């Protein structure tokens, strides 16, 4: 067994590998860029080596520096994690040539499966079901249109070296095929240095279901059941679960056996994933093979009771697999939510900055933890006070739950999301909560088009209906009453003039454009020791009991005898007195006032925000990589104005209306903040 391994990655996956290595008694080496100098994976590792500047092409993609770091520290093996160099055949070969073990498949397996065109041919030869398509590299956009017509629309245009949703378009007509080919080719060239593109039939109402395989150097290969990954937004997975609520045992077995046949055909060693697209009739076709550990591997670990990272390390060290196919278990149901630094209410634009608060729910289970089977797990690479940099992907954490069945897993995930506190950057937690509560998701009735179909016009606050909105009103009044009671207990108050707290309040629900709604509420039977109160609203009576204290972001307790977890934030927006209550993805912004203060508040004039319609504003924090206009230039609606880059995504800003450019207010190469003006029109 290795004494020391180097993790050629960052973020949560680096921390994940370090955790297993420590359990196995193996020393770890982290590598880091300028942006990650104070990152969590650097703290957790036994040693850390600086490998370059913040952009990944100058650090985490520098194979020479990673190999040099191995030699410098005496690391005998490299775990590549996922992304970066994990599926780079040249890197795996270089590592092997230098006498270092690559904790992953052999370079020839990566080469065979990394090229999507070659992998399709291999799959066919191994009698694996493949999608109809044109599997040669396509030279021109015109040729692409002709091929798409022959196959029959809709078609999928994909980069041969693609992955992570990059270099992928779906075309429904000639125009989309022409434009999609050009866009895929450009993205592939920029992201992977390989501009080969191919086309295949797009399966309608498809599900994305993948099989986890595991092989050793003795030629044994097994499959560890499937993962359901159909809940995707723009080809990026959002929620994953194991097992799938859709496929039958017969389909599961057939898919698993085909995945094993393909892995054996390329002499696969280590953990890998064979992805299939599954039609509504349970017909399935090979999509691609990911020759690495997947982001969503924890759900497989939950239902099988295995530690996939440990098995990868043991296989890389030459050990045989410790189990046969008959030993693979399927226990309970696991769900993973990817918690990303993005604002779901602003078109999921990236959100970077400092994590002012980061309080994930308490972990109660982990990989191969036989004692605590069902519970909550958090895989993360960040910590409170840390930065979410603009240079890498937007993932903050992975929230994983394991339940006895699917309904229990969904309920556990909703409660865990309620208790996941993130401040300083926006997160997609409200969106995750909405998905989990959607009747079709709860019924298991969805496909890869689920998000596009149900949130076609984006995601809005009203898309998260609350089962009992009056509970949020009651909770706001309760929290305010607790805060007032603390103020009433401050010592040194003048006798006869002490601050006393009444029972009657008005909850002013803050709406846009000064449209506020008012609810009369009473808070009585207050008990300071037990934290109990009776709150009456127009909907009825809520007995709320909690040990919550002022300043805590998370509030836990019972309402009418039922447990709940919610979040409280004071000073939201531009009002330092406003309270924000968050529960089950719904946010309530409110002022809790005495009846007299509410009368006076109603008389206050509404001050509308400044008119910014003449400006093109940055919708997110990021790097301004291009400004396409100059002062005095006439611009038509829909014309390109600027390009902003953040978290491996390029966002193009277009003119909303015809106009003439007055001033260009930001320069190319400048780091922008949210709503920073870039261009002003006259």
The 10s digit of each residue's pLDDT in 533-571 is: 999 999 899 999 999 988 899 999 999 999 999 999 998
Residue spans of beta strands (DSSP E) within 166-234: 166-171, 197-201, 207-215, 221-233
**Among the four given CATH numbers 2.102.10.10, 3.30.930.10, 2.40.50.100, 1.10.3720.10, the one describing domain 615-681:** 2.40.50.100
More confident residue, 116 or 200: 200
Confidence class of residue 322 from pLDDT cuts 50, 70 and 90?
A: very high
pTM of the predicted model as reported, rounded to 2 decimal places: 0.86
Of the listed ranges 299-313, 428-442, 487-501, 527-541, the one predicted with least confidence: 487-501
Q: What is the torsional sign of CA 435, 439, 444, 449?
A: negative
Three-point CA angle 121, 123, 124, nearest 5°: 65
> E strand or H helix at 52, and its extent?
strand 47-52
Q: What is the pLDDT of residues 78-92, one digit of tens each?
A: 999 999 999 999 999
Is residue 611 pLDDT above 90, yes or no?
no
Confidence class of residue 259 from pLDDT cuts 50, 70 and 90?
A: very high
- In which region does residue 551 sit, left (phi positive, over 0), alpha (psi from -120 to 50) or beta (all else)? left
What is the CATH number that goes with domain 207-463? Answer: 3.30.470.20
Q: Which of 288, 301, 310, 519 is catalytic?
A: 288
636 burial type by CB count under 10 A (0-12 exposed, 13-18 middle, 19+ buried): exposed
Is residue 163 pLDDT above 70, yes or no?
no
Is residue 668 pLDDT above 80, yes or no?
yes
Mean pLDDT to the nearest integer, 449-471: 90
Mean pLDDT to the nearest integer, 459-477: 91
Alpha helices in 306-391 (DSSP H): 308-316
Contact (CB, 8 A) for 488 and 603 = no
Of the listed ranges 86-90, 591-595, 646-650, the one predicted with least confidence: 646-650
- Minimal CA–CA distance to 93: which of 117, 110, 116, 72? 110
- pLDDT number for residue 200: 85
Q: What is the pLDDT of residues 489-524, one digit of tens each?
A: 777 878 887 777 889 999 999 987 778 899 999 999
Omega before 154 within 30 of 0, i.e. cis: yes
What are the distances in angstroms from CA 267 to CA 260, 270, 313, 462, 655?
Answer: 10, 10, 17, 51, 53
- In which region does residue 370 sit, left (phi positive, over 0), alpha (psi from -120 to 50) or beta (all else)? alpha
Instruction: Specify the CATH class of 4-103 in words.
Output: alpha beta
State the Cα–Cα distance between residues 319 and 24, nearest whole angstrom. 14
- pLDDT number for residue 514: 74
Mean pLDDT to the nearest integer, 390-416: 95
- Residue 114 is given by DSSP the state H
244-252: long-range pairs with CB below 8 Å, 24+: 244/207, 244/209, 245/406, 245/444, 246/207, 246/209, 246/278, 246/282, 246/444, 247/209, 247/278, 247/282, 248/282, 251/278, 251/282, 251/284, 252/225, 252/226
Mean pLDDT to the nearest integer, 401-423: 97
Confidence class of residue 293 from pLDDT cuts 50, 70 and 90?
A: very high
β-strand pairing of 77-79 with 47-52: unpaired
What are the φ/ψ torsions at residue 123 (nearest 5 degrees)? Answer: -60, -45
State the Cα–Cα distance between residues 583 and 581, nearest whole angstrom. 7
Q: What is the pLDDT of residues 144-156, one digit of tens each?
A: 999 999 988 889 8
Percent of the chain surpassing pLDDT 90: 72
Is residue 235 pLDDT above 80, yes or no?
yes
319 is catalytic: no
- pLDDT number for residue 248: 96
Question: Domain residue spans in the chain?
Answer: 4-103, 133-201, 207-463, 469-490+499-603, 615-681
Mean pLDDT to the nearest integer, 200-217: 92
State the Cα–Cα distance between residues 433 and 459, nearest whole angstrom. 12
Contact (CB, 8 A) for 297 and 214 = no
DSSP string over 606-660: P-PPP--TTEEE-SSSEEEEEE---TT-EE-TT-EEEEEEETTEEEEEE-SS-EE
Q: What is the pLDDT of residues 334-385, one digit of tens each?
A: 999 999 999 999 888 888 889 999 999 999 999 888 788 899 999 999 999 9
Is residue 35 pLDDT above 90, yes or no?
yes
Number of Cβ within a 10 Å radius of residue 398: 23
**Could you write out the three-class secondary structure of 227-290?**
EEEEEEECCEEEEEEECCCCCCHHHHHHHHHHHHHHHHHCCCCEEEEEEEEECCCCCEEEEEEE
- In which region does residue 514 sit, left (phi positive, over 0), alpha (psi from -120 to 50) or beta (all else)? left
Is residue 487 pLDDT above 90, yes or no?
no
Contact (CB, 8 A) for 269 and 315 = yes
Is residue 38 pLDDT above 90, yes or no?
yes
State the Cα–Cα distance between residues 626 and 642, nearest whole angstrom. 5
- pLDDT number for residue 580: 94
Confidence class of residue 165 from pLDDT cuts 50, 70 and 90?
A: low
Is residue 613 pLDDT above 90, yes or no?
no
Instruction: Specify the CATH class of 133-201 in words.
Output: alpha beta
Topology of the domain covering 469-490+499-603: Glycoprotein, Type 4 Pilin (3.30.700)
- Mean of pLDDT over the chain: 92
- Minimal CA–CA distance to 370: which of 305, 297, 298? 305
Confidence class of residue 213 from pLDDT cuts 50, 70 and 90?
A: very high
Of the listed ranges 223-237, 479-493, 548-562, the one predicted with least confidence: 479-493
- pLDDT number for residue 164: 61
């Amino acid at each position: 067994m290795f004494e020391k391994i180097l993790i050629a990655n960052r973020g949560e996956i680096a921390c994940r590998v370090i955790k297993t290595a420590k359990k196995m008694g193996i020393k770890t080496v982290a590598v880091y860029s300028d942006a990650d100098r104070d990152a969590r994976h650097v703290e957790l590792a036994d040693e850390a080596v600086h490998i370059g500047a913040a952009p990944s092409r100058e650090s985490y993609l520098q194979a020479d520096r990673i190999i040099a770091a191995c030699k410098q520290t005496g690391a005998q093996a490299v775990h590549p994690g996922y992304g970066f160099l994990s599926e780079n055949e040249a890197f795996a070969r270089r590592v092997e040539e230098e006498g270092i073990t690559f904790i992953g498949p052999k370079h020839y397996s990566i080469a065979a499966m990394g090229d999507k065109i070659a992998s399709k041919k291999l799959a066919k030869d191994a009698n694996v079901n493949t999608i109809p398509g044109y599997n040669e590299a396509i030279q021109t956009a015109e040729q692409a249109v002709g091929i798409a017509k022959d196959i029959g629309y809709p078609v999928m245009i994909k980069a041969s070296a693609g992955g992570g949703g990059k270099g992928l378009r779906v075309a429904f007509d000639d125009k989309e095929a022409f434009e999609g080919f050009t866009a895929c080719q450009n993205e592939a060239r920029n992201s992977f240095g390989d501009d080969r593109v191919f086309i295949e039939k797009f399966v309608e109402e498809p599900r994305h279901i993948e099989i986890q395989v595991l092989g050793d150097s003795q030629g044994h290969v097994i499959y560890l059941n499937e993962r359901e990954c159909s809940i995707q937004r723009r080809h990026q997975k959002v929620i994953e679960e194991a097992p799938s609520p859709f496929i039958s045992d017969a389909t599961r077995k057939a898919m698993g056996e085909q995945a094993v046949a393909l892995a054996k055909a390329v002499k696969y060693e280590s953990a890998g994933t064979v992805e299939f697209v599954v039609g509504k009739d349970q017909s399935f076709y090979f999509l691609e093979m990911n020759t690495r550990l997947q982001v969503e591997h924890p759900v497989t670990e939950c239902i099988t009771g295995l530690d996939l990272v440990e098995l990868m390390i043991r296989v890389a060290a030459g050990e045989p697999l410790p189990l046969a196919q008959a030993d693979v278990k399927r226990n309970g149901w696991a769900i993973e939510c990817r918690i990303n630094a993005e604002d779901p209410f602003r078109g999921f634009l990236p959100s970077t900055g400092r994590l002012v608060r980061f309080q994930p729910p308490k972990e109660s289970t982990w990989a191969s933890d036989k004692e605590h089977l069902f519970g909550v797990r958090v895989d993360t690479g960040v910590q409170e006070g840390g930065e979410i940099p603009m240079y890498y992907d937007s993932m903050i954490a992975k929230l994983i739950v394991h339940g006895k069945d699917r309904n229990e897993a969904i309920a556990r995930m909703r409660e865990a999301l309620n208790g996941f506190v993130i401040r300083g950057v926006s997160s997609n937690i409200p969106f995750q909560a909405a998905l989990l509560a959607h009747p079709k998701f709860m019924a298991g009735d969805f496909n890869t088009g689920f998000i596009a179909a149900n949130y076609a016009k984006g995601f809005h606050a009203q898309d998260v209906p609350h089962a009992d909105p009056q509970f949020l009103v009651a909770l706001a009044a309760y929290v305010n009453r607790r805060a007032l009671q603390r103020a009433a207990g401050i010592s040194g108050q003048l006798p006869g003039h002490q601050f006393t707290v009444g029972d009657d309040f008005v909850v002013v629900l803050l709406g846009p454009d000064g449209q506020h709604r008012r609810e009369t509420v009473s808070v009585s039977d207050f008990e300071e020791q037990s934290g109990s109160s009776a709150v009456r609203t127009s909907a009825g009576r809520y007995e709320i009991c909690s040990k919550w204290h002022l300043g805590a972001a998370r509030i836990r307790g019972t309402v009418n005898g039922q447990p709940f977890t919610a979040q409280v934030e004071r000073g939201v927006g531009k009002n330092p007195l406003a309270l924000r209550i968050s529960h089950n993805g719904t946010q309530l912004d409110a002022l809790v006032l005495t009846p007299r203060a509410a009368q006076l508040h109603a008389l206050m004039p509404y001050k509308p925000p400044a008119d910014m319609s003449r400006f093109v504003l940055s919708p997110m924090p990021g790097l301004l990589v291009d400004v396409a206009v100059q002062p005095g230039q006439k611009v038509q609606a829909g014309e390109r104005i600027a390009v902003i880059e953040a978290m491996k995504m390029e966002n193009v800003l277009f003119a909303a209306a015809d106009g003439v450019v007055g001033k260009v207010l930001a320069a190319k190469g400048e780091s922008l903040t949210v709503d920073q003006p870039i261009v002003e029109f006259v």
